[in-house]
Structure 1
Amino acid sequence: MLNKLSIKQKIIYWNIFIIILFTLTLIYLGNASINRLMDEKRTQLRNLSNALGAVVVQYIKLEKEGKLSHEEAVTRVKTTVNAARYDGDNYFFIGDYDMRQIVNPKRPKDDGVIQSSAQYKKFVEISLKNTGPEFLSYFTTKPGSTENFPKLTYLIPIPEWKWYIGTGIYIDDVDRAKNNNIIQLVTITTFITILLMFGGTKIANYISKPLSNLTNLLKESSDKMEEESTQLTKMSEDVGKSSNEQASSIQGTAAAISEVTSMIARTSTLTFNSEKLSQTINNRTEMGNTAVKDMVSAMEAIQEAGQKLSEIEAIIIQIENKAMIINDIVTKTELLSLNASIESARAGEHGKGFAVVAEEVGNLAKTSGKSSNEIRDLLNKSREKVKSILELTISRVTEGQSKTIEVSNIFDQIIIDVKEINTQMSQITEATKEQEIGVKQISEAMTKIDLSAINNLKSAESSIRSSSKVLEISHALKTISSKTEEIVLGQK
């Protein structure tokens, strides 16, 4: 039965089984959760009522101990009950055995008023039995509504004050929660059903379509293999013919490669000689570069000598300044000689000897002044000459130094280029040697190819036998593809 189903149908039936199983599980869990919800509500009512009952009992104890009067204890209980709330706006109430309402936060106007509703009679009956707390179900109106609703109340008798304390919940709130759970379960079941059916269909398509395509490809491959095996037989016969032609061509190629090998050996020798010549040029260029650097050092020494000339110019300027001081002394000496002549003229006969001395001093001062002026003129000419020589020397030295540095830079670049040429020549030499080795290997390979051509002829004969085996394999593939199609699409 299952063999007649395709993979897609098997997956879809399996998903339907999973959906049914999941739905039954959700129904069981939903019923359990609804029952658990009702039990939780009952437990909540019991715990909250017991807690408030314990508070009332505590106030009764304080009254018995005389710490509070009956009125004070009742007032505090009423205040506590009026303020107590849970789950939003749910409340507690108190009544007495005379069916009188003591506290009801929702109907404070009826406090102290006797109630005639049927549930109050049941409250009193339960309290008078004095058998302890008890649950009670009945119908009553909701605050703000005139319609009756089912309600569950938990009642605790307080025999000391002939009271009962109670609180309750409307069953329709629980029913509403049940309905919400049912809606959620139906929604989840529907969503999972759609997801499983859609996903199962998609997965089935993802599996069955590629497998279906695979079976088609297997059929096509087996048909093509059958055609190719026929062509392979023919090609094997052609390979046998071409192998003979290939052998003769390989022999001619081997002779040509031998000639190329001899030419590469000659090129290798010439390359080695070029490398040695490049090394010699490199050495001589480095020697020229050393000479140029020595020239640069000499030009720097000449520049230092020019700086010494500038120092001589400074010394000449100092001498000129000293000559100007001598000139000032000569001027003052002439002035003193003139004053001495005047004083000797005033002295008369007694000053004649002094006048002669004054005249000689004046003549000496004039001679010294003349010599001082000549020295200053010579110093000016010497300073200008030294300055012009210094400027010319600095100009020529700077120009020579610039040219020398330029030549040195050119030599540096030539050395770099020569080294690069030397490196390239070394690489060419190595490459030529490798080419020579490679050509020899090619020659050996051609010999092996010649042997392979002979072997190919033998292999062609083997290929003819193999092609017949391939034809048998193609028939086997066709059988396999048929069986795969039955697995994927089912038996037809």
Structure 2
Amino acid sequence: MRKKTLAFKLNFSVSLLILLIFSVGIYSVIMINKTQEFSYDTGTNWLPGVKAIAEISENFGNITRRHALILGELAIKSDKIKIEKNIKVLNNFSDEIEKEFNNIKKYLGTNEEKVAFDNILKSWKKVKDFIKTDLELAQSGKIKESWVGFNENTIPAFFNTTDAIDNLGDINTKGSINSTKNGEYFTSLTNFVILITGSIAVVISFIFLGIIKKSTSAIEHVLEDLKSQSVATSEIATSLKSSSDALSSAVSNQAAAVHETTAAINEITSMVNRTVENVNHSTNVAKSASKQAEEGQTIMKKLVHAMETIQESSDQLQNISEIIKQISTKTVVINDIVSKTELLSLNASIESARAGEYGKGFAVVAEEVGKLAKISGKSAQEIQNLITKSEEQVNVILDHTKERVENGKNVTEQAQKSFIQISQNILDLSNVVGQIADASREQEIGVKQISTAMGNINKATQTSQVSVNTTTDTAKSLVTESEKLRVNTTEVEHLIAGN
């Protein structure tokens, strides 16, 4: 205990004293409650039971006397009205006993009481039966038999019932006495415990005063040391305040420079972001142009294929020209046949003229054949003219078509080569733009890292600023608290040692 602090000693002593008082209080409350339980048990169970048994015993005695009186009146043949009045009183006593029996049931707490009460009920039932038998015999004129039954049966039953009632009364009386004794015991025990506790509290109080007395001298020495330390602490706090003010000014300048640098980096970050956006847009445009160039190249391939198809059509047109020439040749043959047919028709006409009458029919046929030959010749000539004209037009169209197809094919091939070159250039441009985009992203990442680093520096500077401000405030508070410590030390010294 010597090595323990004053606060521990005081707290321990006070806590022990409080615990002791609290324990005694709790114990006293418990004992008082216990005593009240015994008092309540005595007042609500035992004493009402004793009272109820006394009333039962009184009513039972009245029944005994009233029954004997009625039998005597019946024996001497007394006034009938008086006898009926006594019988009515007897019944009232019996009803009162029944009520008391119902009332006493709620006070029966122990098995012993319940057994005794059951014995009373059994004896009471016999008594009622014997009384009824005696009255019936006496009222029927059998006075002697009724008195014999009264002496031999009813009176012993009365005694047994009285003994049973007395037994239950003794049980309740003993229970009330024991309950009262228990309450008295707990009251005495509580008084004894309170006395012992008071003595212990007095001893603890003396120990508590001794601890305070021993600690007072030590506190005086500590106060002297505190006064010296408060002066030294005040000087240190003043020096710390001056250093904190200078450091606060330097940190403020550093914070301003970091803030300006952060603003410049944010502006660079914004420019890099715009560059990245433009590069991304250029990349999208290059991809779109590359896609369109590929589509143009596909279209040029289709155009070349179409020109080749046109050339094939020109070749087919050349075949048509050859067919027209063949038709023209066949037309010459037809003209030759027509000339020969006209000549044959003329010869037939001459021969039919020589034949005279016999050759007239043949002359008509020859004439018709000649007409047909002339018509065929005319038609063949017209066909020849149309074929010649068509051949000339086909040749002209064929020449123009060949020339245009050749020119179109040349232009298409040149355009296809140009589209291929454009597609390659766009692909190269897309690659270059992609490289620029990658470089811009790396630049953006680098700028963000620099910005993050500057943000961390800024936070650190702000933290330093807060720390410096806190240190300054702490130094000011330390100066103030040092002065308060000096004043409080003086006051405590006056409080302990006096003036």
Question: TM-score scaled by structure 2?
Answer: 0.50
The answer as to 2:458 corresponding to 1:422 is: yes
Seen in structure 2, the aligned counterparts of structure 1 residues 366 and 190 have a Cα distance that, compared at 3 Å, is farther
Q: Is 1:331–1:369's contact at 8 Å kept on the other side of the alignment?
A: no
Q: How many pairs are equivalent?
A: 336
Question: Counterpart in 1 of 2:47?
Answer: 24
Question: TM-score scaled by structure 1?
Answer: 0.51
Q: Is 1:275–1:422's contact at 8 Å kept on the other side of the alignment?
A: yes
Offset, 1:268? 0.6
Question: Counterpart in 1 of 2:299?
Answer: 318
C-alpha separation in 1, matches of 2:448 and 2:184: 82
C-alpha separation in 2, matches of 1:330 and 1:232: 127
Larger Rg: 2
Gaps of 5+ in 2: 1-27, 60-83, 92-127, 137-153, 155-161, 333-383
Q: For 1:308-387, what aligned pairs fall within 5 Å after superposition? A: 308-348=289-329, 355=391, 358-359=394-395, 361-387=397-423
Q: For 1:30-429, what aligned pairs fall within 5 Å after superposition? A: 150=130, 209=193, 212-225=196-209, 227-228=210-211, 231-232=214-215, 234-235=217-218, 239=220, 246-306=226-286, 307-348=288-329, 355=391, 358-359=394-395, 361-398=397-434, 400-401=436-437, 403-405=439-441, 407-408=443-444, 411-412=447-448, 414-415=450-451, 418-419=454-455, 421-429=457-465
Q: Which amino acid aligns with 1:340?
A: S
Offset, 1:272? 0.4
| 1:201-247 deviations in Å (ceiling 9; x for gaps) | 6787677546633431322332452x3365256447xx2x6655554
Seen in structure 2, the aligned counterparts of structure 1 residues 28 and 450 have a Cα distance that, compared at 3 Å, is closer
Considering fraction of residues, name the structure with more helix. 2
Offset, 1:409? 5.5
- Look up the SS of the partner of 1:333 in the other structure: helix
Seen in structure 2, the aligned counterparts of structure 1 residues 455 and 149 have a Cα distance that, compared at 3 Å, is closer
Q: Which amino acid aligns with 1:258?
A: T
Seen in structure 2, the aligned counterparts of structure 1 residues 20 and 264 have a Cα distance that, compared at 3 Å, is closer
Q: Is 1:344–1:355's contact at 8 Å kept on the other side of the alignment?
A: yes
C-alpha separation in 2, matches of 1:383 and 1:180: 135
Q: Which amino acid aligns with 2:200?
A: N
Q: Is 2:258–2:458's contact at 8 Å kept on the other side of the alignment?
A: yes
- Look up the SS of the partner of 2:498 in the other structure: helix
Gaps of 5+ in 1: 1-6, 37-130, 138-147, 156-170, 172-177, 464-492
Q: Which amino acid aligns with 2:323?
A: I
The answer as to 2:475 corresponding to 1:439 is: yes
Q: Is 1:261–1:439's contact at 8 Å kept on the other side of the alignment?
A: yes
C-alpha separation in 2, matches of 1:457 and 1:398: 84
Question: Counterpart in 2 of 1:461?
Answer: 497
- Look up the SS of the partner of 1:263 in the other structure: helix
Considering fraction of residues, name the structure with more strand. 1
